[in-house]
Amino acid sequence: MLLINCSNREKNCYKILHSIKSKDDKLISLAHKKMDFCLGCQSCQKELPKYCVLNDYITNNVYNEILKEDNIVLASPMYISNINGILKNLIDRFNTFYNHQLLKGKKFYLIMTGFATKKENEKEIEGIVEYFNGITEYMYFDFEFLDYFVDSDSQDIIEENNNKIELIKRRLNNEK
Ligand SMILES: Cc1cc2nc3c(=O)[nH]c(=O)nc-3n(C[C@H](O)[C@H](O)[C@H](O)COP(=O)(O)O)c2cc1C
């Protein structure tokens, strides 16, 4: 399984992914990585040896890691009521997989964290789930929202959420 931290910090999202990672899983972090925006050039719709004309961490590392795994867990902080820019940018960069249906059979899971409670972010989470469910049809992957965690700068987010972490681990173990 592949776990991708989409926060630009290695804090809440990273800690949660680290706590659910088992020894055969790979955790990569997009924090402070060189990551360019899609140029919109559509070169990726042709046969490109490196999937994308951009020369960054996504082209050189992330694409290959995604292609190797069937189950991919994404973690993003809630930013202004939505997924953060890094995750959206990553999804835009999935354009390279689209034409050749390279994500077919893969399953993406999403974990989110935010300051507000899960209840307070209920509508936002609903919108995000709707967005992902909407793109599964033409991106050819499955999607499941795993859980939302409340930010915990003062206390340890893992200690506070042991039960949720255990449930996620059990859920993901069923897929292996
Ligand atoms: C620019 C920015 C926007 C944010 N917007 C929201 C928001 O709309 N709703 C929310 O609940 N939390 C919001 N937060 C809080 C983060 O989602 C929260 O601190 C999260 O746990 C950070 O995850 P990380 O430690 O993995 O970076 C925002 C934080 C920042 C920096």
Q: Where are the domains of the chain?
A: 2-32+46-173
74 touches ligand 1 (CB under 6 Å): no
Cα of 76 vs centre of ligand 1, distance in Å, is 9
Cα-Cα-Cα-Cα dihedral sign, residues 167, 168, 170, 174: positive
Sequence-distant contacts of 143-147: CB under 8 A, at least 24 apart: 143/107, 143/108, 143/109, 143/110, 144/107, 144/108, 144/109, 144/110, 145/109, 145/110, 145/112, 146/73, 146/109, 146/110, 146/111, 146/171, 147/111, 147/112
Q: Is the CB of 84 under 6 A from ligand 1?
A: no
Q: Which residues of the chain have pLDDT under 70?
A: 153-154
Cα separation, 83 vs 100, in Å, equals 26
Task: Give domain 2-32+46-173's CATH number out of 3.40.50.360, 3.20.20.150, 3.40.50.150, 3.30.420.40.
Answer: 3.40.50.360
DSSP-based three-state secondary structure for 103: coil
Ligand 1 atom with minimal separation from the 16 CA: 26
Q: What is the pLDDT of residue 154?
A: 66
With a 6 Å cutoff on the Cβ, whether 5 touches ligand 1 is no
For residues 172 and 55, give the distance between their C-alpha atoms in angstroms, rounded to a whole number.
32
CA angle 98, 7, 103 (to 5 degrees): 20
How high is the pLDDT of residue 1? 97
- CA 82 to ligand 1: nearest atom: 8
Ligand 1 geometric centre to CA of 137 (Å): 29
8: its two tokens = 């630009």
Ligand 1 pocket member 57 (CB < 6 A) = no
